[in-house]
Structure formats: structure tokens, C-alpha cells
């Protein structure tokens, strides 16, 4: 197994690359929240049942820079050793409440490959259910949606529309993530005031801004600033979660800054604030965002096309389901649905995401003070700092647009 630091660096690189394409492809919405981690875990469930060139393509994408001979092992290690650590619930120790759940819904006329079933049960702790897509598709979708809603504490409702499945549907693979963290230092609601947030079109909207006179983790650079807002750690000394806000100096600088941030983990790691500074003016808008998209085209743009049936001569997803000899068509992915939610206020952050893959046959004192006024479009992410795992990524263009 490769060093965990190398594995996390690869996972982060994949997260940022995914986020970049989602951000540019889904540019009709003013605000964005996306969990690259949920998307990656769902694709990992697909990779566990893939073979041939389809598997190679997934491993190259999910484990960039890994030795091809050990990529499959590295992928399971990223989930079992790194992701599980980052997503373990810390609420009993006073830290953030976290949950990560995986599910496999398989049409009752099919049977999972024994090795695949063992893998998703033992490593991914997946909840495996038998459903009837052929005759009771609506009921089957209702079961999947209910499972997702429960796993995300009610934040993600109706992940799938019944029209997404039908008689040819064989499986649905799901991942759901829930995060709820309190700031290490809560903000006083009485200091929250409404002020102008400047939009890209030159207009402005009045929105509530969180404010404080306490020192903050801020680092300043030539054309942007970075704020770190740590979440309460409690007695969970193995992990530290933080939200990072990347704020361009100019009101319209988010595009250039996003290109830098999404370029790779090196830029991110080199610009994380480590010391508190005194602040003279500090304002961050409250915001609530819901976002959903279908990810097939994003993956195809990234070169992941074989899971959709790009090569009929390839082994494809042959290691997922036991196909009887009379079944002439191969398994392919027909769609990938992702939904996410985030709310940021004086208390902290609550966020959730779910991804479904549908398949069918075929502290030192600083003398000067700093300002951090996020009154124009900015980028943000939620990260576990000790492992470097990125949970959520997004941008705020207009906080007045409520979820």
C-alpha cells in the first residue's frame, strides 16, 4: 500500500478536478454546493465491480499518480483507512456529527457477484437490498429515497425521480454523507447585520452578515485572501474540520481564483492560514444552498466513458452481477444523480450530499489588523485538516438566493 499522504493527495487532486468541471459545467445556478467525496465513493462502488479497460479508466481517475499494479488496493485503502477516519462520527467526543452510508439496491431477478458482495459489505459497509425494478419501480425508488433521507438526517429528499428507473434497471448504488459542526468560536447573533453583497453584474443585494471583533485565521496574498473557520474539535484529537473561504480582492475575480484553487492540492495546501490575526472589519454572509445535477456528461468530459457502454468488447461491469448465459446485454451505467445541501450561520454548518449511480443492462499576535469582508462572490470548502480529505466544495455568487 502506498503512503497514506500520497493516497490523500491523489484523492484531493481528484476532488478538485471533479469540482472544477462541475462548477464550469453547471454554471446556470448562482450558488454551488457539491461533495466530491460522495461522488468518488459512489464511483468506487462501481469500480469494485468493474474489470478490463473500464476498471483501468476508473482507477486512473480515482487514484491519480498511483502505481497501476496497486491502484485497486489503494482505492479500497483510501476508503477504509482514510475516508472512514475522516467521516467517523465525532459527536460523542464533542466534535462534528458525521455520517457516511453506502447502499446497493439490486433487482430481485439478479444476484450480486459473490466477490463484489463481500467487497461492498466488508469494506464499504454497504446496505444491500433486493427490490423489484421490473414490476414495482416506483416502490423501489421510494425505498431508495427513504434510505437517503434517513442517512442525511432529512436534508436530501427525493434524490431520484421514478422516471429514472424502469424494467431494464438492474442496480442503484448510493452514497450519502451528513456533516453538522459547530464553530470553535460561535458568532454572536446580535452582531449579525444586513449589508450589501455585490454581484457579478454590478448590482447588489442586502443580506445578513456574520460579524466579529475576535481574531481570525486569515492569510493575505496579492489578489486574494483566505479565511479558516475551524469547527469545534471537542475531545476528538485525531481530527480537525475547518471551512475555508477563498475571497478574491476584486468583485469579479472568482473565475481566476477558481482556476488556481482547482489546479491541484499544491495550491490549496500552500495557502491555508495557520495563525490568527486581529481584525478591524470582519463580515461573512449567512447562506443556504441546495444543488443537484446529473453527472454523466461531467464524467465523459473527464474521459470516463466506458462505464456508460463506450466499449462493447470490454469486460465493463462484469464483476458486479452474476449474469445468466441467456442475458445477452452487458451492464452499463445509465445515470449519476447528485444532490447536496449546506447552511452556514452563527452556530456553524450543516451539510449533506447523496450520489446515486443507476445501472441497467446494456495563534501568535500580529501587530497589524486585517479586514476580511466577503461582500462579493467567493469560493469555499470543508476539509478535514489532519488527513486533508475534502468533504464539500462550492461557491457563493448570491447569498440572497435561498435554498
Per-residue pLDDT of the chain (403 residues; tens, 9 = 90+): 456 677 778 889 999 999 999 988 766 678 999 999 999 999 999 999 998 899 989 988 988 877 766 767 777 877 777 777 788 899 999 999 999 999 999 999 889 999 999 999 988 999 999 999 888 989 999 999 999 999 999 999 999 988 888 888 899 999 999 999 999 999 999 999 999 999 999 999 999 999 999 999 999 999 999 999 999 999 988 899 999 999 999 999 999 999 999 998 999 999 999 999 999 999 999 999 999 999 999 999 999 998 987 665 567 888 888 866 434 457 889 899 999 999 999 999 999 999 999 987 653 333 456 789 999 999 999 999 988 999 999 999 999 987 5
- Provide CB contacts within 8 A for 212, sequence distance 6+: 185, 187, 188, 191, 279, 282
| CATH, domain 4-181+289-361, list 3.20.20.70, 3.30.497.10, 3.40.1350.10, 2.60.200.20 | 3.30.497.10
Q: Centre a 10 Å sphere on the Cβ of residue 115 and count the other Cβ atoms it contains.
A: 12
Where do the H-state alpha helices sit in 161-312?
254-261, 265-270, 296-301
Q: Does residue 110 sit in helix, strand or coil?
A: coil
Instruction: Please list the residues that pair with 357 across neighbouring strands.
Output: 173, 336
Provide the percentage of residues in the chain whose pLDDT is more than 90.
64
Cell 472512514, located at residue? 84
What does the alpha-carbon distance between residue 199 and residue 254 come to, in Å, rounded to a whole number? 11
As a whole number of angstroms, the distance between CA 230 and CA 264 comes to 22
CA within 13 Å, CB half, 57: 23
Q: What is the pLDDT of residue 84?
A: 74
Domain over 183-286+364-396 is classified CATH 3.40.50.10490: no
Q: Where are the domains of the chain?
A: 4-181+289-361, 183-286+364-396
Given this model, what pLDDT does residue 332 score? 86
Amino acid at each position: 500500500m502506498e503512503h497514506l499522504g500520497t493516497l490523500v493527495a491523489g484523492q484531493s487532486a481528484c476532488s478538485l478536478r471533479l469540482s472544477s468541471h462541475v462548477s464550469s459545467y453547471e454554471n446556470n445556478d448562482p450558488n454551488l454546493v457539491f461533495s466530491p467525496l460522495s461522488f468518488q465513493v459512489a464511483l468506487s462502488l462501481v469500480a469494485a465491480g468493474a474489470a478490463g479497460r473500464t476498471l483501468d479508466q476508473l482507477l486512473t481517475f480515482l487514484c491519480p499518480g498511483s502505481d497501476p499494479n496497486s491502484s485497486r488496493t489503494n482505492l479500497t485503502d483510501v476508503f477504509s483507512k482514510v475516508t472512514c477516519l475522516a467521516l467517523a462520527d465525532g459527536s460523542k467526543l464533542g466534535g462534528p456529527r458525521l455520517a457516511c452510508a453506502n447502499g446497493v439496491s439490486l433487482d430481485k431477478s439478479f444476484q450480486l457477484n459473490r466477490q463484489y458482495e463481500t467487497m461492498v459489505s466488508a469494506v464499504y459497509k454497504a446496505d444491500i437490498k433486493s427490490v423489484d425494478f421490473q414490476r414495482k419501480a416506483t416502490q423501489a425508488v421510494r425505498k431508495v429515497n427513504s434510505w437517503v433521507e434517513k442517512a442525511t438526517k432529512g436534508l436530501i429528499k427525493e434524490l431520484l425521480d421514478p422516471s429514472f428507473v424502469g424494467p431494464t434497471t438492474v442496480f442503484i448504488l448510493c452514497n450519502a454523507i451528513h456533516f453538522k459542526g459547530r464553530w470553535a468560536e460561535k458568532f454572536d447573533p446580535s452582531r449579525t447585520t444586513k449589508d450589501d453583497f455585490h454581484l457579478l453584474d454590478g448590482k447588489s443585494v442586502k443580506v445578513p452578515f456574520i460579524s466579529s471583533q475576535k481574531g481570525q485565521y486569515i492569510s493575505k496574498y496579492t489578489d486574494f485572501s483566505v479565511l479558516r473557520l475551524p469547527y469545534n474539535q471537542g475531545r476528538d484529537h485525531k481530527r480537525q474540520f475547518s471551512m475555508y473561504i477563498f475571497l478574491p480582492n476584486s468583485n469579479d475575480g472568482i473565475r481566476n481564483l477558481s482556476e488556481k484553487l482547482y489546479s491541484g492540492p499544491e495550491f490549496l495546501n500552500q495557502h491555508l492560514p495557520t495563525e490568527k490575526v486581529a481584525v478591524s472589519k470582519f463580515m461573512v454572509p449567512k447562506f443556504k444552498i441546495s444543488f443537484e445535477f446529473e453527472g454523466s456528461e461531467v464524467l465523459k468530459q473527464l474521459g470516463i466513458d466506458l462505464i456508460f457502454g463506450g466499449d462493447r468488447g470490454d469486460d465493463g461491469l462484469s464483476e458486479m452481477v452474476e449474469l445468466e448465459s441467456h442475458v445477452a446485454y452487458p451492464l452499463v451505467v445509465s445515470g449519476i444523480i447528485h444532490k447536496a445541501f449546506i447552511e452556514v450561520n452563527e452556530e456553524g454548518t450543516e451539510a449533506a450530499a447523496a450520489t446515486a449511480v443507476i445501472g441497467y443492462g446494456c495563534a501568535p499576535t500580529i501587530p497589524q489588523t486585517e479586514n476580511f469582508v466577503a461582500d462579493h462572490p467567493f469560493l469555499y470548502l470543508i476539509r478535514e485538516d489532519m488527513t486533508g480529505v475534502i468533504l464539500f466544495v462550492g461557491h457563493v455568487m448570491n447569498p440572497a438566493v435561498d435554498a
